[in-house]
Structure 1
Amino acid sequence: MDVPFWVWLVTIVAMVAILAIDLAIVDHPWSKKSGPREFGMRQAAWWAAFYVAIALLFGVGVWYFSGATAGIEYFAGFVTEKSLSVDNLFIFYLLMGAFAVPKKYQHEVLLIGIVLALVMRGIFIAVGAQAINAWSEVFYLFGAFLIYTGIKIVRDHLKHDEASSEDFTDNFAVRMVRKFWPVTEEYHGAHMTVKLDGQRYITPMLLVIVAIGVIDVVFAIDSVPAIFGLTQEAYIVFTANAFALMGLRQLYFLLAGLMDRLRFISWGLAIIMGFIGVKMILHALHENGVHVPEVGIGLSLTVIIGVMTVTIVASLLGSRGGPGGSKEATETADEETESLRTE
């Protein structure tokens, strides 16, 4: 798949334009008196649907201009990256709670997090593409890493109940910031620093951004090898990642009320990571002359969609009548949903 430079340029400019329109419409209705307003559920639903529609439309274009194989690779990559992004929202959800970020400032934090994620993934995609071109055996490394990631997801999920908010507020980067600069106890609007009694302080808002930046690096390390296991086309890798991230902040507010219900998502992602890891190792063996079966992209797309569908349906059904206090979880989720509605 030979993508001309001008196509790359037009694609990136179009994405930036879409994000600019998003910012102009969503963030413009702030007044200097009232400040930022909370994000409404209806607004989030419309924007989330808009971004998904744009991503699907782009995939149809890839299919039409570059063929069925490229189209299926894009859709498989997009579904995988979107699934990983939804799982990432759980971490953002816990992070917002751990830092007690006011709801009216949460979409600012998410916007910065998404921009950082795009930059991080762009860097890792460029590095990954060069590594694959220079050393095909890197597929063994990527495959082993994805299998390890799948195991780690399950292990972390099983230990989730024992996890503390300190896991997200006390990482190394945050500790270093706290060590060298004084931090205010309360937020001062959306300001990252504030001057009090002649001394410059940083606010918890900056700590949140630092924590999200660290998380974005971890997410990039996990997600980029996953999509390289589905396609080695840099253009598809980049666009699938970008479209999966665009609209993520709207999806956060849309799914906030369902966070406690989607308890099996991690299991589904673990299965997908293991599946893609095995696929990459088989591909590497095949490239090195070993006669092993290869997993086609059509089967990959079917497995990915099937696994995520089953885990989402099982999560929603389990939250209604399953054991372990599902009624309380449902009531808590309903309260979260209601709290996000704009009065």
Structure 2
Amino acid sequence: MDIPLWVWLATIGGMIAILVIDLAIVDHPWSKKSGPREFGMKQAAWWAVFYIGIAILFGLGLWYFGGTTVAGEYFAGFLTEKSLSVDNLFVFYLIMSAFAVPRKYQHEVLLVGIVIALIMRGVFIVIGAQMINAFSEVFYAFGALLIYTAVKIVHDHVKGGDEDKDFTDTFAARMVRKFWPVTEDYHGARLTVKLNGRRHVTPMLMVIVAIGVTDLMFAVDSIPAIFGLTQDPYLVFTANAFALLGLRQLYFLLAGLMDRLAYISWGLAFIMVFIGVKMILHALHENHVPVPEIGTGLSLGVITGVMVITVVASLMRSRGRLGDGDKSKSVTSGSTSE
């Protein structure tokens, strides 16, 4: 699509306005004495529905003004990025658990993480668009990267990769500790504090550094994935932005379900392979090789179907395990009573 500059500015301005409203309503209402309050499940649910509703309305607007193909590419990109964001949330959960971030400060950490993610993705979108415009062969590289990422996701899931990783002792964390002393305890939401006449870094800054590095790695995976669905920079940006805007509310909503989404990694891996193959086929087609291409409608159907099956299968597996746990408890209690 040929998007005028004023549409870009209006879109970015609208997203900034949404974030400001979010901050004004969610982060402002606390007293200076009591400090920040914890983010509740009910509040998270309402905001998650709000952000998903906005993303859907935006997609319907694209359908009205741009047609079904444009809207289909946007929704396919949005669903893919939203699915990948769940994987982001799982790693964020592990990071904040490793650093023992107090729950009342977690939404601030997530806000910074989202802003960093938006900036990272913005940079990668510009770079990716320039590379695609320069030569179509980049689709081979993007496709291979996505297939490699899928293999890595499955490997890490089987080996328990992220669960066993010590996020407090990464290369970035060691570099920070090399130049500044780190306090043992949190000092509110402050990033640095002066103790005994010397400037110290707080664990809050360490968490943000860890999440920033994680955002960089996820951007490397997610941007090629969405470029496999649409090469329109406007659709790539808006799908990414709307997928990320409601991320911190989704975090608190899914925090209790993290361990129950057992098959989410398998679903994401399948989507990565599917998009990787789609990109390679597109590159072959661009080089006049007579191969079939995967259309937008099929892409949207496959991505939606895989995520629905993944989530339903995960919840059914979790429910089955809970049921077995209840039975074993009843058997144990029965044998004890005898």
RMSD: 1.3
User: Does structure 2 conserve the Cα–Cα contact (< 8 Å) formed by 1:193 and 1:201?
Assistant: yes
Q: Which has the larger radius of gyration?
A: 2
The answer to whether structure 1 residue 164 and structure 2 residue 167 are counterparts is no
What is the aligned-residue identity percentage? 74
**Could you give the per-residue CA deviations for residues 167-221 of structure 1, whole angstroms, max 9, x where no partner exists?**
x222211110011110111111111111111111111000000000000000100
Instruction: Write out the 4+ residue segments of structure 1 that deviate beyond 3 Å after TM superposition.
Output: 325-328
In structure 2, the partner of 1:230 is 229
Letter in 1 for 2:86: V
1:1-343 equivalent positions in 2, closer than 5 A: 1-160=1-160, 163-166=163-166, 168-322=167-321, 327=325
Between the aligned partners of 1:196 and 1:180, the Cα distance in structure 2 is 16
TM-score by length of 2: 0.94
User: Residues 78-119 of structure 1, C-alpha deviation per residue, up to 9 Å, x if partnerless?
Assistant: 000000001110000101100000000000000000000000
Partner Cα distance (1:281, 1:318) in 2: 35
In structure 2, relative to structure 1, the CA distance for the partners of 1:10 and 1:44 (3 Å cut) is: same
Task: Please state whether the residue corresponding to 1:124 is helix, strand or coil.
Answer: helix
The structural deviation recorded for 1:66 is 0.6
What do residues 270-292 of structure 1 show as CA deviations (whole Å, max 9, x unaligned)?
00000000000000001101001
Opposite residue 278 of structure 2, the aligned amino acid is K
Which whole-Å CA distance do the structure 2 matches of 1:202 and 1:36 have between them? 21
Instruction: Find the residue that maps to 1:155 and give its secondary structure.
Output: helix
Q: CA deviation at 1:161?
A: 6.8
Distance 1:56 1:250, change over 3 A: same
The amino acid across from 2:190 in the alignment is H
The two structures have a TM-score, normalised by structure 1, of 0.93
Q: Could you tell me whether the CA contact under 8 Å between 2:94 and 2:163 is conserved in 1? A: no
Q: Distance in 1 between matches of 2:105 and 2:168?
A: 18
Please say if residues 180 and 200 of structure 2, whose CA atoms lie closer than 8 Å, have aligned partners that are also in contact. Answer: yes
User: Where does structure 2 lack aligned partners over 5 or more consecutive residues?
Assistant: 327-338
The one-letter amino acid of 1:46's match is W
How far is 1:259 from its partner?
Answer: 0.5
* Equivalent pair of 1:319/1:327 in contact (CA under 8 Å): no
Provide structure 1 residue ranges, at least 5 long, that are not aligned to the other structure. Answer: 329-343
Question: Deviation of residue 164 (structure 1)?
Answer: 2.3
- How many Å separate the matches in 2 of 1:215 and 1:327? 35
Q: Deviations over 1:45-100 (max 9, x none)?
A: 00000000000000000111011100000000000000000111000010110000
Could you tell me how far apart the structure 2 residues matched to 1:269 and 1:135 are?
A: 28
Distance 1:162 1:84, change over 3 A: closer
Distance 1:19 1:162, change over 3 A: closer
Q: How many residues align?
A: 326
Q: Secondary structure at the match of 1:259?
A: helix
Hey, what's the Cα distance between the residues in 1 that align with 2:299 and 2:162? 34
CA distance in 2, matches of 1:221, 1:24: 32
Give, in whole Å, the separation in 2 of the partners of 1:252 and 1:316: 17
CA distance in 2, matches of 1:83, 1:203: 32
Paired residue secondary structure (1:294):
coil
What is residue 338 of structure 1 aligned with on the other side?
A: none
Q: C-alpha distance in 2, partners of 1:202/1:45?
A: 34
Whether contact under 8 Å (1:261, 1:316) holds in the other structure is: yes
- Structure 2 distance, partners of 1:24, 1:295, is 44
CA contact (8 A) 1:319 1:326 kept: no
Query: Which residue is equivalent to 2:335?
Result: none
**Contact map agreement 1:190 1:205 (CA 8 A) in 2:** yes
- In the alignment, the residues of structure 1 paired with residue 55 and residue 202 of structure 2 have an alpha-carbon distance, to the nearest angstrom, of 36
Kindly tell me: are residues 242 and 161 of structure 1, through their superposed partners in 2, closer, same or farther at Cα, counting changes over 3 Å? closer
Q: Is the 8 A contact 2:41 2:252 kept in 1?
A: yes
